[in-house]
Amino acid sequence: MASYSRHYTLHVTVSVVMVMALPAVGVWLCLKGYAPLAVLMGILTLAAVFRLIRLLRYPISQTEMMARAIKNNDLMLHIPETDDVLLRQASADMNRILVSYRRDQNELETRKNYYDRILRVMTHELRNTVTPIVSLTDFMIENPDAQSEEDRREAIGIINSQAHNVCSFLESYRQLTVLAQPSMTDIPVSRIFSNLQTLLKAEPGADRVRFEQAGAVIIHADSSLIPLALINIIRNAIQATDGVEDGRITVMASAPGGKPCITVTNNGPEIPESRIEEIFMPFYSTKKRGSGSGIGLALSRQIMQLHEGTLTCSSHYPYTTFTLQFS
Q: Per residue in 109-147, pLDDT tens?
A: 767 776 777 777 677 767 877 888 888 888 888 887 777
Query: Mind listing the pLDDT tens digit for each residue in 97-113?
Result: 888 887 777 777 767 77
Same domain, 131 and 190: no
Asked whether residue 293 is assigned to any structural domain, the reply reads yes
Same domain, 172 and 302: no
Q: Which domain holds residue 40?
A: 2-74
pLDDT for residue 178:
64
Does the pTM exceed 0.95?
no
Same domain, 250 and 170: no
Same domain, 169 and 264: no
Q: CATH number, domain at 273? A: 3.30.565.10
Same domain, 53 and 14: yes
pLDDT above 70 covers a percentage of the chain that reads 89
pLDDT at 47 over 80: yes
Minimum mean pLDDT range among 47-61, 102-116, 295-309: 102-116
Asked whether residue 62 is assigned to any structural domain, the reply reads yes
In angstroms, rounded to a whole number, what is the distance separating the alpha carbons of residues 130 and 300? 29
Same domain, 161 and 270: no
- Mean pLDDT of all residues in the chain? 83
pLDDT for residue 144:
79
In the chain, how many domains are there? 3
Neighbour count for residue 173 (Cβ, 10 Å): 17
Same domain, 127 and 67: no
Which residue, among 129, 93, 115, 100, has the nearest Cα to 176 in the 3D structure? 115
User: What b/e readout covers 246-276, taking b as 16+ CB neighbours within 10 angstroms?
Assistant: ebbbbbbbbbeeeebbbbbbbbbeebeeeee
**In this structure, are residues 230 and 287 in contact, taking their beta carbons and an 8 Å threshold?**
no
pLDDT for residue 286:
61
Neighbour count for residue 31 (Cβ, 10 Å): 9
Q: What three-state secondary structure class fits 55?
A: helix
Minimum mean pLDDT range among 137-141, 203-207, 237-241, 244-248: 137-141
Minimum mean pLDDT range among 22-26, 76-80, 89-93, 150-154: 76-80
Same domain, 235 and 289: yes
- Asked if the peptide bond before residue 318 counts as cis, ω within 30 degrees of 0, the response is yes
Same domain, 170 and 191: no
Burial tier of 285 (Cβ tally within 10 Å: 0-12, 13-18, 19+):
middle
**Strand 319-325 with 310-316, pairing:** antiparallel
More confident residue, 135 or 251: 251
The set of residues, in sequence order, having a beta carbon less than 8 Å from that of 116 and lying 6+ positions away, is none
Q: What three-state secondary structure class fits 53?
A: helix
More confident residue, 242 or 62: 242
Asked whether residue 89 is assigned to any structural domain, the reply reads no
Query: Mind listing the pLDDT tens digit for each residue in 278-300?
Result: 888 776 666 555 445 567 888 89
Asked whether residue 285 is assigned to any structural domain, the reply reads yes
Asked whether residue 65 is assigned to any structural domain, the reply reads yes
Torsion of CA 195, 198, 204, 209, to 10 degrees: 60
Asked whether residue 101 is assigned to any structural domain, the reply reads no
**In this structure, are residues 264 and 232 in contact, taking their beta carbons and an 8 Å threshold?**
no
Q: Choose the final residue of a domain: 51, 74, 97.
A: 74
Same domain, 170 and 287: no
Asked whether residue 198 is assigned to any structural domain, the reply reads yes
pLDDT above 90 covers a percentage of the chain that reads 26
Same domain, 167 and 281: no
pLDDT for residue 131:
84
Same domain, 144 and 199: no
Asked whether residue 275 is assigned to any structural domain, the reply reads yes
Q: Choose the final residue of a domain: 152, 177, 202.
A: 177
